Amino acid sequence: MSKIIVVTSGKGGVGKTTTSASIATGLAQRGFKTCVIDFDVGLRNLDLIMGCERRVVYDLVNLVNQEASLQQTLIKDKRVDNLYILPASQTRDKDALTIEGVARVIHKLKQNEFDYIICDSPAGIEKGAKMALYFADEAIITTNPEVSSVRDSDRILGILQSESRRAKMDEEPVKEHLLITRYNPNRVQEGQMLSVDDIVDLLAIPLLGIIPESQAVLEASNAGKPVILDDESNAGQAYNDAIARLLGEERPHRFMEAQKKGFLKRLFG
């Protein structure tokens, strides 16, 4: 049975695409047949982060409109076995997607025995975001330690609880996971930024992981290589921990402590 996981946030630019790429890659590395779908129709970006932008021929909208087959549309990752990318259309808008159309795509993926389907949601709470979360079994709520991101995450939780397929069918609710990204422990320690505890208190959902603010993320996207493949980096390791927890393992949270500063910095804060 395929498990469908949406990576969502409400707010834009918090790290959904970065997260979708790394979570999908990490699951495939562990042997699960995984497909990551870019739902950001009109603003395709997952292909760049996954490094397959030059191999896109057909896209999600072609597939929804039955203009191409699943085999023609899926891009097989060159680095990791079991990993497939389903790119968004760049020329259409989000109205090109319908629940029935997306349902057909999901059904085909299930027939092809995918273990995990990761849905990279667009920002906002409009049609595109609702389409991305509709079929979800689980949701990774991507949140930055910042007021508007936390509020928008709460908004999107409300939508998951009322407008997802599981909510509408009165099934067991979508399982929610909090992923705090771009976390900067130094600024938390100085009281300039909401802490992990603050955010967990406010949103009251289980914590999947904390991804530190890291230069490695920018370098990874420059290279078109999901940051999880950079296992030297803090961010890569944090994504790895998050996947282990997603699969039920218990791991202590890391990267929450402020780095020791040099003498001059310590003196002048």
Partner 1 sequence: MGLLSLFRSKSSSASLAKERLQLVIAHERTNRGSPSYLPMMKQDIVSVIRKYVEIDEDEVQVSMESDENCELLELNITLPQFGAGGTEDNGDIKG
Choose the contact partner of 194 out of ligand ATP, Mg ion, partner 1, none; CB within 5 to 8 A by kind: partner 1
Told to check if 210 binds partner 1 by CB under 8 A, we report no
Q: Least distance (Å) from ligand ATP to the CB of residue 159?
A: 16
86 is written with which tokens?
């389903």
Choose the contact partner of 233 out of ligand ATP, partner 1, Mg ion, none; CB within 5 to 8 A by kind: none
How many CB atoms neighbour CB 168 within 10 A? 10
Please provide the DSSP assignment of 69-101 as one string. -HHHH-EE-SSSTTEEEEPPPSSS-GGG--HHH
234 is written with which tokens?
């803090």
Q: Least distance (Å) from ligand ATP to the CB of residue 14?
A: 5
- Out of 81, 95, 198, 257, the residue judged to bind partner 1 by CB under 8 A: 198
Distances (CA, A) of 206 to 110, 141, 181, 197, 242: 28, 10, 15, 11, 12
- Out of 36, 133, 150, 227, the residue judged to bind partner 1 by CB under 8 A: 150
The site for partner 1, by CB under 8 A, has a size of 23
Conformational region of residue 96, where left means phi above 0, alpha means psi within -120 to 50, and beta covers everything else: alpha
Per DSSP, 65 falls in state T
Q: Least distance (Å) from partner 1 to the CB of residue 65?
A: 31
Judge residue 218's burial from the number of C-beta atoms within 10 Å of its C-beta, 0-12 exposed, 13-18 middle, 19 or more buried: exposed
| Most distant CA pair in the chain, distance | 64
Q: Least distance (Å) from partner 1 to the CB of residue 168?
A: 14
205 is written with which tokens?
């959902």
Q: Which stretch binds ligand ATP (CB under 6 A): 90-98, 188-196, 200-208, 213-221?
A: 213-221
- Out of 13, 31, 173, 206, the residue judged to bind ligand ATP by CB under 6 A: 13
- Out of 4, 5, 6, 14, the residue judged to bind ligand ATP by CB under 6 A: 14
Told to check if 267 binds partner 1 by CB under 8 A, we report yes
129 is written with which tokens?
């975001």
Told to check if 126 binds partner 1 by CB under 8 A, we report no
Q: Which stretch binds ligand ATP (CB under 6 A): 12-20, 22-30, 59-67, 194-202?
A: 12-20
Residues 218-237 that bind ligand ATP (CB under 6 A): 218, 221, 235
How many CB atoms neighbour CB 100 within 10 A? 8
